Amino acid sequence: MRYISTRGKAPALSFSDVLLTGLAEDGGLYLPETWPSFSKDEWKALRGLPYPELAARVLTPFVGSDIEGATLRRLCAQAYTGFDHPAIVPLTQVEDGLFVQELFHGPTLAFKDMAMQVLGQLFEHVLAERNSHVTIVGATSGDTGSAAIEACRGRDRLSVVILHPKDRTSEVQRRQMTTVLEPNVTNLAVEGTFDDCQDLVKACFADMPFRTDMHLSAVNSINWARIAAQIPYYVYAALNFGAPDREVSFAVPTGNFGNILAAWAARKMGLPIRRLCVGSNRNDILTRFLNANDMTMKEVIPSLSPSMDIQVSSNFERLLFELLDRDADACARIMTGFRSTGHMDVPAQTWEKARTVFSGLALDDGETEAEIKALHQNSNYLADPHSAIGIAAGRKFREAGVPMIAMATAHPAKFPDAMVAATGIHPALPVHLEDLFSREERYRTVPATPDAIKDAVRAAVLSNTH
């Protein structure tokens, strides 16, 4: 399996090289050169498998010959040992035809653990084979950072530098990052938004001498391996509801577009997925696009669902590339125009093609709080603000006879203020995090400038490799 850039000017790479490279040299994102496809019999053969085994089977065509099959199965098995539910990704019914898949039973209580724990294992394996070291630089709107840190902490071959927007995450989210004190972990509180953090990470990767010198790699969903490792839970859910003999639909609270892109990838592989429903908060650029072809950046406004406080959804570029029939020049031109003007000029026929699969719903904070309250009252289900938005989107777009599965992406205990306001309940943190608020924190506040970030990365690498 080889991987190509959405902008067409970077060399094709193997899976292991894509894992270690992250962002393509031309600023694009990597995708498989050809999409693997499973037959009905191959899908059926996955039914009833334990989740780690299913994950390894789904990942196999993406990994290709880079990692031997038995090794990949062992890495996936190790990745999920820290999850606190025997099903890993349990399914719950909340209404007639509407179900929830819980993705928050990993060590940091968010769906990012599903892929990040696999990535930690993959990085360690590949780097040991190559006797090499990389520096992970990532931006987080709340959950990616803690999941990346948890997966990479204490690993000798990895330095980890995570940027989060200062005062724009929940306290639980921040402390999950800043209370990890291993010497290979550096946390930076950036004086700006998540979009600023994401741009600063891309600036580091765009500086080729710096990128090479620091051996930069990424764990954000710009890294294709992150997306690939998220595909299995959509497969698991669909198979549980009768696929490949029956269609299913998914609803996903969506910020950076990586999670829902993994569902789209599963559909590309032949899984019978009818609709993909985007749930947005007041930062509703994706819903505006789907409803009116209006992909125009606006100011990022803090909300009850901070992981979705985004106006630049990086992974949308991968979908755009596919919708443009893999015209890399057109994709590069549209993306460059978007960053320079703040408006993405998507051709009408491309937009219509997106709407054949994707739908969008946006809730403001008041509507999100009402949804959390109603879910608890009517279904005795406690959903965090992100998950509640996804469930609302699923309800709106469900169709008779087609199971609608909404992704529950974070544990409600990560957002206690919102949960208390909506339900009067203060969800308890799991035992392994119950002392979180008494732990020592360690992080640096930095301005939103490339030089400040590069200086911090250099210092982190120097302290961790000497």
- DSSP for 348-402, written as a single string: HHHHHHHHTTEEEEE--HHHHHHHHHHHHHHH-----HHHHHHHHHHHHH-BTTB
**Integer Rg of the chain from CA:** 20
Q: Is 40 annotated as catalytic?
A: no
Burial zone of 203 (CB within 10 Å; 0-12 exposed, 13-18 middle, 19+ buried): middle
| Residue 421 CB neighbours (<10 A) | 14
Which backbone phi and psi does 458 adopt, to 5 degrees? -60, -45
**Token match 């009252």: residue?**
377
DSSP state of 8: S
Q: One-letter amino acid identity for 153?
A: R
| H helix and E strand count, the chain | 20, 15
List the one residue out of 357, 144, 399 whose CA is nearest residue 260: 357
Distance from C-alpha of 256 to C-alpha of 286, rounded to nearest angstrom: 10
Strand duo 158-165 + 185-191: pairing: parallel
| Residue 2 CB neighbours (<10 A) | 15
Can you tell me whether residue 13 is helix, strand or coil? Answer: strand
Q: Are 282 and 298 in contact (CB under 8 A)?
A: no
Given CA atoms 462, 163, 63, 332 in this order, what sign does their dihedral have? negative
For the CA atoms of 295, 11, 202, 300, what is the dihedral angle to 10 degrees?
10
Order of strands across the sheet with 358-362?
A: 91-95, 98-102, 404-408, 248-253, 273-280, 358-362
| Identified catalytic residue from 9, 40, 44, 112 | 112
Strand duo 343-344 + 295-296: pairing: antiparallel
Residue 320's DSSP bridge partners are none
Q: Which residues are identified as catalytic? A: 112
